[in-house]
Amino acid sequence: MPEVKHKSCQINAPVSLVTGAGGFLGSHLVDRLLLEGHRVIGLDNLCTGSLENLDNALSFKNNFNYIQTDIVESFKIPDLKYDFVWHLASPASPVDYRRLSIETMLANSIGTKNMLDIALKHSAKFLLASTSEAYGDPQVHPQPETYWGNVNSLGERACYDESKRFAEALTCEYCRRYCLDTRIIRIFNTYGPRMQINDGRVVPNFICQALRGESLTVYGDGAQTRSFVYVADEVEGLLRAMLSGNTRGEVINIGNPEEYTILEFAKIIARLCGIELNVVYKPLPPDDPAKRCPDINKARVLLGWEPAVSLELGLAATIDSFAHELIM
């Protein structure tokens, strides 16, 4: 992600309201919006985010306001005319959404309704950051937006999977009933600087273990597949989806169609970190999907978008950031 340069506050600058602004993806989105000249109001309760992620944004005293609040509860925002509402607030890693299971469900239900109501009041464009977890353990591969998914509604991941699916349904109903200008983005495995070290997902797990000279933990036999998109590419996809004139009511996958087995990915991490690969195998978590890879034809057609950052280049930047954080 390029360093954000200061721009003076424009009189007619677009105004963006961003939930989950202190999170990994939310903070990168905030930086990009500031780069594009938006005035940004960022909301976060910091249950998984951090103020450090907003260090750069907080230096934009005229263009950025941060409000620490819970969007499930009663909250106040500056009296402005909002042009865009970006709803990214929700724990996103299995470690976090199991620890905060009910909070996750409320953020994706009550929190989503609250943000939709704000968008409706201001006639703002609305973007829901949904997830590839909406597909569950898919029986269709790769996954197109038309696939309804294979989700265990009673499983341990349901607090996230099903609450995101509810958020999608609610967003669609606001689009149908009120003609609200909405779009839903299903985000696939995104990685990059500012991920939490204890995130629990494969990228931070492997990188931190490799940098510490430890064996890499592989769940199951390592034959399950994932695809990985660098955070700058993901943010570019979000931006295009919101700003394009042809995405009202659309559901769009934003991810990388390059697919790797977990064992293949472990080998790449070990090589980039300069260590010999040693693997420790542990049992698969419940409902862990065997395959996960997006069909991005819709993003290519509607947005002219596809990933631009190679896996090795993105991982190199991510490894550097984790190395610095571990030293600190």
Q: CA angle, corner 201, sides to 198 and 203, nearest 5? A: 95
Beta-strand (E) ranges in the chain? 15-19, 39-44, 64-68, 84-87, 125-131, 182-187, 190-191, 216-219, 225-227, 229-230, 250-254, 259-261, 279-282
Q: What is the DSSP string of 153-167?
A: TTSTTHHHHHHHHHH
Check if 160 is active-site.
yes
Residue 302 neighbours by CB under 8 Å, 6+ apart: 241, 244, 246, 247, 250, 252
Q: CA angle, corner 193, sides to 189 and 196, nearest 5? A: 75
CB-based burial label for 312 (10 Å; 0-12, 13-18, 19+): exposed
Residue 105 neighbours by CB under 8 Å, 6+ apart: 159, 162, 163
- Single out the catalytic residue among 82, 97, 160, 230: 160
User: Which are the catalytic amino acids?
Assistant: 160
